[in-house]
Amino acid sequence: MKDIIPIERIESKIYLVRGQKVMLDFDLAELYGIETKHLKRQVRRNQPRFPEDFAFQLTKQESLRCQIVTSKSARRGGRRYLPYAFTEHGILMLSSVLNSETAIQVNIAIMRAFVRLRKVLAANRDLSYLFKELKHKVDQHDVEIGLIIKSIEKMIAIDKKPKSKIGFVTKSRD
């Protein structure tokens, strides 16, 4: 199934909405190979399995932010209703209400995509921390190099003062 649905394809369908990574009903239906209305029907029939933190309906503004064409008219190919967003837990719950081998395999691929995305985000956080540490060290080195340059300039300035003659001065006997 990995070859049938590339993880990159799944990752491109994961959006950040309300601070959560979600997938939308029509994208999930496409991956499962079913119609969106069938997916929504199964969710409605099993509503107790989908609390607000598992699935929620998008607002118009959220829908537009995800660059989704919302309702115009069903006859013209638009959407009559705002899409539903499913969190990672909601997608896991879908596998229990969509009873097919394809649904199981697609869910496995989606979970792998979420895990991979989580690893990438964690790696980015680690890199961000390392860059901050490096910047702090470089800033500290800049201060230290500035002090060294000032010390060298002071030494050079001392060397430029006229030197007094060393030795004895004798009076001439003229």
Q: How far apart are CA 34 and CA 103, in angstroms?
A: 10
Answer yes or no: is 165 within a domain: no
Answer yes or no: is 161 within a domain: no
Answer yes or no: is 52 within a domain: yes
Q: What total of structural domains would you count in the chain?
A: 1
Domain span at residue 111? 7-124
Q: How far apart are CA 11 and CA 161, in angstroms?
A: 71
Mean pLDDT for 119-146 is 76
What was the pLDDT predicted at 79? 64
What was the pLDDT predicted at 65? 65
User: Does the pLDDT at position 52 exceed 60?
Assistant: yes
Mean pLDDT for 49-67 is 82
Please identify which residue in the block is written with the tokens 């239906």: 29
Answer yes or no: is 19 within a domain: yes
Answer yes or no: is 172 within a domain: no
- Lowest mean pLDDT across 8-22, 43-57, 59-73, 159-173: 59-73
Mean pLDDT for the chain overall: 78
Please identify which residue in the block is written with the tokens 């792998």: 112
**Residue of 59 and 168 predicted with greater confidence:** 59
Q: Are strands 84-87 and 20-24 parallel, antiparallel or unpaired?
A: antiparallel
**Residue of 39 and 10 predicted with greater confidence:** 39
User: Does the pLDDT at position 75 exceed 50?
Assistant: no
Answer yes or no: is 141 within a domain: no
Answer yes or no: is 162 within a domain: no
Burial of 39 (0-12, 13-18, 19+ CB in 10 A): buried
Q: What pTM was computed for the model?
A: 0.57
Answer yes or no: is 11 within a domain: yes
Mean pLDDT for 132-154 is 80
Half-sphere exposure of 3 (CA within 13 A, CB side): 0
Q: Are 27 and 63 in contact (CB under 8 A)?
A: no
Q: Are 42 and 48 in contact (CB under 8 A)?
A: no
